[in-house]
C-alpha cells in the first residue's frame, strides 16, 4: 500500500542544459488535493523534450524531469479527485482541460487556463514540486507531465482515463505527436472530401496530418520534405505525391511555384510541421487565393518571427495555428482511442524504436536520425 506515502523510484533527471539525463532514484511525494499519482509504464521522446534539454528553450528550467508523451496507471489520488481512480489507465495531458475556465467553456479552443501559470514554472498548482532527489533538492515538473519518471504527479485536469483495452505501449503516442497532427487535420482545419492538402515535414506530426487528410478523403495529399527517406512513409500514411525541394525543382523554380502549378492555383489547406519560419511562409503562399488556409503546427526556435506580404491575407489566404491538434484531452481522447480500435487512426506504425528506460539518452540520439519517428521507452526496464 503506497497511497499517502512518498515513493522512491527511478527517473531521468535533466540537471543541466546540453548534458545527458541522469538516471537515478528520486522520491515522489503523494498527490495533494486535485492531484493524481501515476505509475508511468511507457513514454516516448519528442522534439520538445530535446529542445528544452538543449538549453535553447528560454523557458527551460533545471533541474527538471522532462517527458510529456506518456501513459500509465493511476496509483493513488488526492482529495477531491473525481475524474480518475486508482487502477485507471491514463494518458498525461500537457494541454489540460478543466471544463470550467473561460477557454474551456468558450467552445472555441482546446487551450485551458486552469494550470497554465504554474505549469509554465515547473511546479504543481500549489506552487511546489512533488519530486526530490537523494540530496533532498526539489526537481521541477515539465509541461504538467514529467513522464520520464516511473511515478509522476499530475493535476487532475491534466489526466484522462482511457479504455483499459488500449495498449499503453502504443497509445502513449496519443499524448502528443499523433494527436497533434491528426487533430490539426480533422479538427483545426476540418479538411473535407476532395480538398487538396500539402504537408511540410514528414515526421510523426506531419505523417499524422497526412493520415487525417486520408481519412477525410482529400483528393491530393502532397508531402514536402528535404529528406528522401520520408517518401516511403509518406506514401504508406496516405500521401499522393512527395516533393523534395532540394532535388525535385527545376532551375529557378520555388516550392511555391511548383505547388501552385500542380494544383491549379494553390492548395485548399497547407500545414507546417517543421518549425522553420521560412517554410511557414512558403506554406501560406502555396495556399489558393480566396480560401486557402495554412495551419502552423511546428514550434519555431526562440525569437524567430514569421512574415509574408499582407496582400497574401488581403487576397483571402488564412494563417492559423494549432496546439495539440485542437483536441480537448479529457473529452476527446477516447474518441481517438475508438478511431484507433476501428483502424481509422494509425499509431503503432509510428513506433520505429523501442528501448528500456535506462537507455533514455540513446532515445534522444535516435531523434536525430531520419529512420526514427518515435522511440518508446519501457519504464519497467
Closer residue to ligand DAO in complex, CB, 90/259 = 90
Q: Is 374 a catalytic residue?
A: yes
Q: Is 48 a catalytic residue?
A: yes
Q: Does the protein bind Zn ion through residue 98 (CB under 5 A)? A: yes
What are the backbone dihedrals phi and psi of residue 173, each rounded to the nearest 5 degrees, phi first? -65, -20
Q: What's CA 47's distance to the chain center, in Å?
A: 9
CA-CA distance, 268 to 264, in Å (whole number)?
A: 11
Q: Does the protein bind ligand NAD through residue 276 (CB under 6 A)? A: yes
* Cβ atoms < 10 Å from Cβ of 76: 22
* Cβ atoms < 10 Å from Cβ of 79: 9
What is the SS3 assignment for 288? coil
Closer residue to ligand NAD in complex, CB, 9/111 = 111
| Catalytic-role residue among 34, 37, 172, 176 | 176
**Rounded to 5°, angle at Cα 55 from 157 and 174:** 35
Using CB under 6 A, pick the residue from 27, 323, 349, 362 that binds ligand DAO: 323
Give the residues across from 11 on adjacent strands: 24, 149
Q: Does the protein bind ligand DAO through residue 48 (CB under 6 A)? A: yes
Using CB under 6 A, pick the residue from 139, 162, 176, 197 that binds ligand DAO: 176
Q: Does the protein bind ligand DAO through residue 367 (CB under 6 A)? A: no
Q: Is 2 a catalytic residue?
A: no
Closer residue to Zn ion in complex, CB, 29/97 = 97
What would you measure as the largest C-alpha separation in the chain, in angstroms?
A: 69
Smallest distance from ligand NAD to CB 304, Å: 11
Q: Does the protein bind ligand DAO through residue 116 (CB under 6 A)? A: yes
Smallest distance from ligand NAD to CB 51, Å: 7
Given the rule CB under 6 A, which of 4-12, 46-54, 286-294, 309-317 is the region that contacts ligand NAD?
46-54
Q: Does the protein bind Zn ion through residue 155 (CB under 5 A)? A: no
Closer residue to ligand DAO in complex, CB, 110/293 = 110
- The end-to-end CA distance of the chain, in Å, is 22
Going from the C-alpha of 136 to that of each of 60, 129, 141, 339, 377, the distances in angstroms are 21, 12, 15, 44, 27
Closer residue to Zn ion in complex, CB, 157/234 = 157
Q: Does the protein bind ligand NAD through residue 78 (CB under 6 A)? A: no
Give, to the nearest 10 degrees, the angle between helix 277-285 and helix 255-262.
Answer: 30
Cβ contact 281:304 at 8 Å: no
Give the number of residues written for the chain: 381
Q: Quote the cell numbers at residue 328.
A: 480537448
Closest CB to ligand NAD: residue number: 203
Using CB under 6 A, pick the residue from 239, 297, 327, 333 that binds ligand NAD: 297
Residue 42: Cβ-neighbour burial (10 angstroms; 0-12, 13-18, 19+): buried
Smallest distance from ligand NAD to CB 110, Å: 10
Using CB under 6 A, pick the residue from 47, 116, 220, 355 that binds ligand NAD: 47
Smallest distance from ligand NAD to CB 43, Å: 15
Rg of the chain's alpha carbons, rounded to an integer? 21
Going by C-alpha positions, the residue among 94, 144, 132 that lies closest to residue 13 is 132
What is the SS3 assignment for 223? strand
| Catalytic-role residue among 35, 52, 95, 104 | 104
Cβ contact 165:307 at 8 Å: no
Q: Does the protein bind Zn ion through residue 114 (CB under 5 A)? A: yes
Q: Quote the cell numbers at residue 176.
A: 502528443
Q: Does the protein bind ligand DAO through residue 111 (CB under 6 A)? A: yes
Q: Does the protein bind ligand DAO through residue 299 (CB under 6 A)? A: yes
Q: Does the protein bind ligand NAD through residue 175 (CB under 6 A)? A: no
Using CB under 6 A, pick the residue from 292, 298, 326, 329 that binds ligand NAD: 298
Residues with a known catalytic role:
46-48, 68-69, 98, 101, 104, 112, 116, 176, 374
Residues that bind ligand DAO (CB under 6 A): 46, 48, 68, 95, 111, 116, 176, 299, 323
Amino acid at each position: 500500500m503506497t497511497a499517502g506515502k512518498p515513493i522512491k523510484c527511478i527517473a531521468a533527471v535533466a540537471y543541466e542544459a546540453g548534458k545527458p539525463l541522469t538516471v537515478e532514484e528520486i522520491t515522489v511525494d503523494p498527490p495533494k488535493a486535485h492531484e493524481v499519482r501515476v505509475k508511468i509504464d511507457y513514454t516516448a521522446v519528442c522534439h520538445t523534450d530535446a529542445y528544452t534539454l538543449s538549453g535553447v528553450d528560454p523557458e527551460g528550467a533545471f533541474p527538471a524531469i522532462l517527458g510529456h508523451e506518456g501513459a500509465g496507471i493511476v496509483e493513488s489520488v488526492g482529495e477531491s479527485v473525481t475524474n480518475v481512480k486508482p487502477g485507471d489507465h491514463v494518458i498525461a495531458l500537457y494541454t489540460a482541460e478543466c471544463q470550467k475556465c473561460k477557454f474551456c467553456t468558450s467552445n472555441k479552443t482546446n487551450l485551458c487556463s486552469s494550470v497554465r501559470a504554474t505549469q509554465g514554472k515547473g511546479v504543481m498548482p500549489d506552487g511546489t514540486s512533488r519530486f526530490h532527489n537523494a540530496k533532498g533538492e526539489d526537481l521541477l515538473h515539465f509541461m504538467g507531465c514529467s513522464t520520464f519518471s516511473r511515478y509522476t504527479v499530475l493535476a487532475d485536469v491534466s489526466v484522462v482515463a482511457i479504455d483499459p483495452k488500449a495498449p499503453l505501449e502504443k497509445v502513449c503516442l496519443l499524448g502528443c505527436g499523433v494527436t497533434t497532427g491528426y487533430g490539426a487535420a480533422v479538427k483545426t482545419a476540418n479538411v473535407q472530401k476532395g480538398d487538396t492538402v500539402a504537408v511540410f515535414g514528414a515526421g510523426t506530426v506531419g505523417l499524422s496530418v497526412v493520415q487525417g487528410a486520408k481519412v477525410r478523403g482529400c483528393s491530393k495529399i502532397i508531402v514536402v520534405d528535404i529528406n528522401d527517406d520520408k517518401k516511403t512513409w509518406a506514401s504508406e500514411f496516405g500521401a499522393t505525391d512527395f516533393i523534395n525541394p532540394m532535388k525535385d525543382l527545376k532551375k529557378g523554380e520555388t516550392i511555391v511555384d511548383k505547388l501552385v502549378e500542380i494544383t491549379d492555383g494553390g492548395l485548399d489547406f497547407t500545414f507546417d510541421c517543421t518549425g522553420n519560419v521560412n517554410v511557414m511562409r512558403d506554406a501560406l503562399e502555396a495556399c489558393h487565393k480566396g480560401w486557402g488556409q495554412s495551419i502552423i503546427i511546428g514550434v519555431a526556435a526562440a525569437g524567430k518571427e514569421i512574415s509574408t506580404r499582407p496582400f497574401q491575407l488581403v487576397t483571402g489566404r488564412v494563417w492559423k495555428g494549432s496546439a495539440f491538434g485542437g483536441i480537448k484531452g479529457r473529452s476527446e481522447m477516447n474518441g481517438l482511442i475508438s478511431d484507433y480500435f476501428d483502424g481509422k487512426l494509425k499509431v503503432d506504425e509510428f513506433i520505429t524504436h523501442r528501448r528500456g528506460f535506462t537507455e533514455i539518452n540513446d532515445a534522444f540520439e535516435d531523434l536525430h536520425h531520419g529512420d526514427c519517428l518515435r522511440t518508446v521507452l519501457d519504464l519497467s526496464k
